[in-house]
Amino acid sequence: MTTAKSYAAPAKSAPLEPWSFERREPGPHDVAFDIQYCGVCHSDLHQVRDEWGRSKYPMVPGHEIVGRVTKVGSDVKKFKVGDLAGVGCLVNSCRECNNCEQGLEQYCTNGSVGTYNSFERDGVTQTYGGYSNHIVVNEDFVLHISDKLPLAAVAPLLCAGITTYSPLRYWKVGKGHKIGVLGLGGLGHMAVKFAVAFGAEVTMLSHTAAKEADAKKLGAHKFVLTSNTQNLDAVKGYFDFIIDTVSAPHDYNLYLSLLKTNGVHICVGAPPTPTEIIGFNLIGGRKSLAGSMIGGIPETQEMLDFCAEHHIVSEIEVIAMKDINEAYERMLNGDVRYRFVIDLATL
């Protein structure tokens, strides 16, 4: 066992505070690495505050993890000491169900193992995430990271990146498509970058007027301010797709009216409370309301390689570990441009 330093939430709604715990020694198939940077996802905040109702404490959040390998198990083939390494939202899965066989470990029918707030395959060992100084993970769930990109800005690709890349690839969004990106935060800004890279016409749908210039800088072709719903009239029946990254409850019905016939509203944002959907809004125009969760390991590596080739990274603000509680408040207030990343050297 090796003692890890971390920041943990001791209980629901309590602020995060310094905490130490034990990580296992790397087994034959494990990779151990020192964490250099970890992104701050809105899912961390939802879970720290038990908004999804399944939180385990103490909780060490963090699933946008990058660092450098310090030890490898005797049978590890993919990594050697000194390599850059990344871990996203998953650290294991059953590896034998239909979904795992297709590289869709995020949909493992026997339950994938989350990087934190989850249990290892033994069903009893709690997992702890990346707000810590080192981690030990089975090599099959460790990603290769290019040394061509700034490491801190790569970290958010491990969740915000793959969560937006995966549905855009699944629905083959590209040239000739009009897509609306709803919500310009961590996920939203990556959705804009990928949709632009894939050749789609991108409209930013944001409730924050001050983000218009940034949306254009990120590559969005149009900007619609959603806080005044009259503005939506200009884009009624306009989009082939909407990718919805909003973290707070909102009215999906409003946005279904912006889709063309056969249009798809893809939910990736995970608000904690239900919203009523009126069936007529789907029936008229054969519309789909769909969802997508992160991405499997092969596709996450594909996304990282795509980003290295096309120089795509996240727009970040690096913070010290002690500032995490303030960062959560700022994220809730929409005051993040566009992802906080913790520098673990400050731990």
According to the binding rule CB under 6 A, does residue 270 interact with ligand NAP? Answer: yes
Q: Which of these segments, 46-54, 90-98, 140-148, 323-331, binds Zn ion (CB under 5 A)? A: 90-98
Tokens, residue 92: 């294991």
Among 81, 248, 254, 320, binds ligand NAP (CB under 6 A): 248
Peptide bond into 128 cis (omega under 30): no
Among 137, 179, 246, 341, binds ligand NAP (CB under 6 A): 246
Whose tokens are 């030990």? That residue is 136
**Nearest to 141, CA basis, from 165, 121, 166:** 121
According to the binding rule CB under 5 A, does residue 48 interact with Zn ion? Answer: no
Length of the chain: 347
Q: Which of these segments, 103-111, 187-195, 217-225, 257-265, binds Zn ion (CB under 5 A)? A: 103-111
Residue 313: count of CB within 10 angstroms of its CB: 20
According to the binding rule CB under 5 A, does residue 108 interact with Zn ion? Answer: yes
Of all residues in the shown chain, the one whose CB is closest to ligand NAP is: 185
Distance of closest approach, residue 215 Cβ to ligand NAP, in angstroms: 8
Q: Which is nearer to Zn ion, 94 or 282 (CB)?
A: 94
- Burial level of 142, CB count in 10 A (0-12/13-18/19+)? buried
According to the binding rule CB under 6 A, does residue 178 interact with ligand NAP? Answer: no
For the four alpha carbons of 201, 205, 209 and 210, in that order, the dihedral sign comes to negative
Distance of closest approach, residue 267 Cβ to ligand NAP, in angstroms: 7
According to the binding rule CB under 5 A, does residue 100 interact with Zn ion? Answer: yes
According to the binding rule CB under 6 A, does residue 222 interact with ligand NAP? Answer: no
For the four alpha carbons of 148, 73, 133 and 156, in that order, the dihedral sign comes to positive
Distance of closest approach, residue 247 Cβ to ligand NAP, in angstroms: 3
Distance of closest approach, residue 338 Cβ to ligand NAP, in angstroms: 7
Enumerate the β-bridge partners of residue 67. 35, 85
Number of residues that bind ligand NAP (CB under 6 A): 31
Q: H/E element holding 45?
A: helix 42-48
Residue 73: count of CB within 10 angstroms of its CB: 17
Query: Who's near 21: CB < 8 A, 6+ residues apart?
Result: 3, 4, 6, 8, 58, 60, 128
According to the binding rule CB under 6 A, does residue 129 interact with ligand NAP? Answer: no
Q: What is the DSSP letter of 127?
A: -
Among 143, 184, 289, 347, binds ligand NAP (CB under 6 A): 184
According to the binding rule CB under 6 A, does residue 168 interact with ligand NAP? Answer: no
Q: Which of these segments, 232-240, 243-251, 255-263, 303-311, binds ligand NAP (CB under 6 A)? A: 243-251
CB 38 within 8 A of CB 70: no
Q: Which is nearer to Zn ion, 9 or 100 (CB)?
A: 100
Backbone φ and ψ for 6, nearest 5 degrees, come out as -160, 175
- Residues forming contacts to ligand NAP in the complex (CB under 6 A) are 41-43, 46, 159-160, 163, 183-188, 206-208, 211, 245-248, 250, 268-271, 293-294, 331, 334, 336
